[in-house]
Amino acid sequence: MKFGNKFRTVAVVAIASLALAAGCGGGGDGGGEAAPGAEASAPAEDANLAITFLPKNLGNPYFDVSAKGGEAAVKEFGGTFAEVGPAEATPDAQVSYINTLTQQQVGAIVISANDKQAVCDALTEARDAGVKVVTFDSDTNPDCRDLYVNQATAEGIAKVQIDMIAEQIGDSGEIAILSASANATNQNAWIELMKKELANHPNIKLVDTVYGNDKDQESFDKTAALLQSHPELKGIISPTTVGIAAAARYLSTSKAKGKVALTGLGTPNQMREYVKDGTVKEFALWNPEDLGYLSAFAAKAIITGEIKGDEGDKFTAGKLGEKSVGADKTVLLGDPFKFNKDNIDQFDF
């Protein structure tokens, strides 16, 4: 296995934060060190609560915020938190990290998958070695993980975005989608359902779907290209926080500002200036910090055996209260939330 410099740097940071957590977390037995090979049925005090988050990529503010929530939760229950991840949002890059975490015998990997199948062999090896696997944000196929923590239903996420664009363009005209990477499970599920939802809007025509790979510059360039190739474009939906922020930055200084509507999924801190300068009217999201927090508690509940992941299982997720497992071993955070100029200043993430 080969590890890039990036991995080494991140691993060092992760180890440093493990040491920090052990030093000041207070609550973990034996300074919070992971107990290798802990079983699901192990009594809670012997459980291996070393929980590592593996986002699609590092350097994405959305995942920085979800990691913050994860870390807060892990501190609360006295485990050890770490985050590792690739620079590029690709499944291959995630596989090396999964293999390393398996060798390190962490208690759980909490992953947002760049592909629903390509990371599965590595995750299955991890599970065979006793590591619990919780997906969050972007799922794998259900048989590759113990639990999926879903931010909001895919139907709800698709509908809120179509509702917003329909309202913003008078329910008529050409639209395009600026997505993240072409294999991302969450993006593809939402795009599929948005297409279905468009059946209720016969005058809106989806003319293109492009991919900025959750890279700022690539998303910016793809926005410029969309406007060039579709001069009649009325609106863009970007269901990715990286994409919508880059598209807003492009539009804000272009002739299309205020003429081509932009909506999708963004973080309030990245979108604030574009809502205030009139580039964007309204967009949606959930609270990524809560998503990370819930995912960490879900991982703990699986590690300790508090839940098995069966439908109807219940566990306590700290300040979020009691949560239950639904169909397909899925736990739901809540509903998407819409941000606009009237409420955006009430949020800081």
Out of 98, 110, 180, 317, name the contact with ligand RAM by CB under 6 A.
180
In the complex, least distance from residue 57 CB atom to ligand RAM, rounded to whole angstroms:
8
Q: Which is nearer to ligand RAM, 80 or 287 (CB)?
A: 287
Closest separation in Å from C-beta 213 to ligand RAM: 10
Largest Cα separation within the chain, whole Å, is: 64
Residue 185 interacts with ligand RAM (CB under 6 A): yes or no: no
Establish if 265 lies at the interface with ligand RAM (CB under 6 A).
yes
Partners of residue 118 on adjacent β-strands: none
Report if residue 137 touches ligand RAM, rule: CB under 6 A.
yes
Q: What are phi and psi of 54, to 5 degrees?
A: -130, 90
Does the footprint of ligand RAM cover residue 186 (CB under 6 A)? yes
Of 283, 261, 259, 260, residue with least CA distance to 270: 283
Query: Is there binding between residue 60 and ligand RAM (CB under 6 A)?
Result: yes
For the chain, give the number of residues. 349
Binding residue for ligand RAM (CB under 6 A) from 62, 77, 211, 293?
Answer: 62
Measured CA angle at 335 (ends 334, 337), to 5 deg: 125
Q: Classify 16 as helix, strand or coil.
A: helix
Decide: is 219 part of the binding site for ligand RAM (CB under 6 A).
no
Cβ proximity to ligand RAM: between 18 and 244 the closer is 244
Write out the binding residues for ligand RAM, residues 8-27 only, by CB under 6 A. Answer: none
32 near 78, Cβ under 8 Å? yes
For residue 175, the minimal CB distance to ligand RAM (Å) is 18
222 binds ligand RAM (CB under 6 A): no
Residue 112 within binding range of ligand RAM, rule CB under 6 A: yes
Cα–Cα dist 331/233, whole Å: 38
Contact call for residue 240 and ligand RAM (CB under 6 A):
yes
Query: Which window, 25-33, 54-62, 91-99, 168-176, contacts ligand RAM (CB under 6 A)?
Result: 54-62
Q: Give which of 161, 164, 133, 138 is closest to 151, Cα–Cα.
A: 138
The phi-psi region of residue 210 (left if phi > 0; otherwise alpha if psi is between -120 and 50; otherwise beta) is: beta
Distance CA 316, CA 100 (A): 30
DSSP 5-18: HHHHHHHHHHHHHH
| Chain contacts with ligand RAM (rule: CB under 6 A) | 56, 60, 62, 112, 137-138, 180, 186, 214, 240-242, 265
